[in-house]
Structure 1
Amino acid sequence: MPVGVVIKRQPGVTRWAKYAWKATSILPGAADAHWRELRREGEVVEFHAATVTLELFGAETEAYVHGLGAEVPCVYVIMRPKPETPAHPFEVLLITASPYEAQDYCDTGEEVVEKVAMTPGLLAWVHEFVELFHEDEEFVKRRRHKERMDKVEDGIGDPRIGGMGDVYASPALQRRRMQ
């Protein structure tokens, strides 16, 4: 589904940042756009920054269920900073309904991830997709090996360790004591 991303620019609150930018809303089914101005109130401006395709995958339904279970179900807008173009400082890479995928982008630290509430129509679309394709995975308890692994003690048998009382001492520490 094509989804438009609305980004708001407002004056910065510090002398180091002239503007503060934030993805504030989405436009499901929007036409293509490139930083088209939607609204202006004083120095606050909202732009239809881009239209990207929201794709849902059958293998990701567990993540969608997790996202739909939130107090406010959201989509995540992934943007890459473009400091060379201050008038349009972000490139919208993608939009996802998966909080797990959004977390992966947060971990890299190279992209900006903004959380935006789903519209009722988009919420219904994602919910319908989950109902069609989600299958709960049965919990399978892991079976333990019969062999007892706790009988092996690390460090025992090391010829550099003098007595049984010093079993867990490091060999470097032992050499200093001997000198």
Structure 2
Amino acid sequence: MNEPSPSPARPSPADGLRAVLARVPVGIVAERRQGRSVWAGVLWRPVSVLPGSPSAAPWTALGRAGGEAALLYAGTADIELCRSETGGYRDNLRSGRPVLWVVLRMGPDGEPRPVLAVTADPATGEALTASGDDIVETVAMPDWVRDLVQAFVDAHHVEHEAFRRRRDDPAAARAGRGEPA
């Protein structure tokens, strides 16, 4: 399969303060399974990513997995690579099991909407769980994505030294002398 290379990012109003330097398109495969309790109807879960933008329409059936789960092509999303997030990418790659965070949003009718986001940054992935209404799951990062993210980190990461402020005379401050804190 021909893996896409990252494309230079065009500015987007959604970028805000994040300077997106590259976008990597990926197709998302999701699993649909019947819940096992009376409180859980249908359960949706992202399970993998495909290279590029497949030509299939979003929510096209791909087959079955494990007998009772249906696999569907959920749609395409871009992994946005930002210089400010390279530390998170690096930590993810060093984890021994690099992952992507995939976000699906359900509509009011309980049916899924287009894929909301995909990220390789652990902090962004964690932040995407804040709404509580979205389905946020990790999927294994394919080797070809890992190689692209590693190349991006190699090209753009700058290590920042931790800076800690120190009082001029901590003992004097404890004794009530010197400048107020």
TM-score, normalising length: structure 2: 0.74
1:69-111 CA-partner distances (Å, limit 9, x unpaired): 2121001012222131x4x334421100111011111233232
Give unmatched runs, 5+ long, in structure 1.
153-179
Of 91, 96, 99, 2:122 maps to 99
Structure 2: state its 5+ residue gaps: 1-23, 177-181
Q: What aligned pairs does 1:1-150 form with structure 2 within 5 A after superposition?
A: 1-31=24-54, 33-40=57-64, 42-84=67-109, 86=110, 88-146=111-169, 148-150=172-174
**CA separation in 1, counterparts of 2:39 and 2:130?**
25
- Map of 1:147-166 to 2, 5 A cutoff? 148-151=172-175
Aligned residues: 150
Higher gyration radius (CA) = 1
2:174 maps to amino acid: D
Give yes or no for contact 2:32–2:44 (8 Å, CA) kept in 1: yes
Q: 2:47 corresponds to which letter in structure 1?
A: T
Report SS of the residue matched to 2:173.
coil
Q: Sequence identity of aligned pairs in percent? A: 34
Within 2, Cα distance between the matches of 1:47 and 1:119? 18
Deviates more, 1:138-147 or 1:2-11: 138-147
Deviation at 1:4, TM superposition (A): 0.7
Shift of 1:130: 0.5
Report the CA distance between 1:21 and its aligned residue. 1.4
Provide, for residues 95-151 of structure 1, a one-character-per-residue CA deviation record: whole Å limited to 9, x for no partner: 001110111112332322110111111111101110111111123342223373334
- Give the number of the structure with larger relative contact order, counting CA–CA contacts within 8 Å between residues 6 or more apart: 2
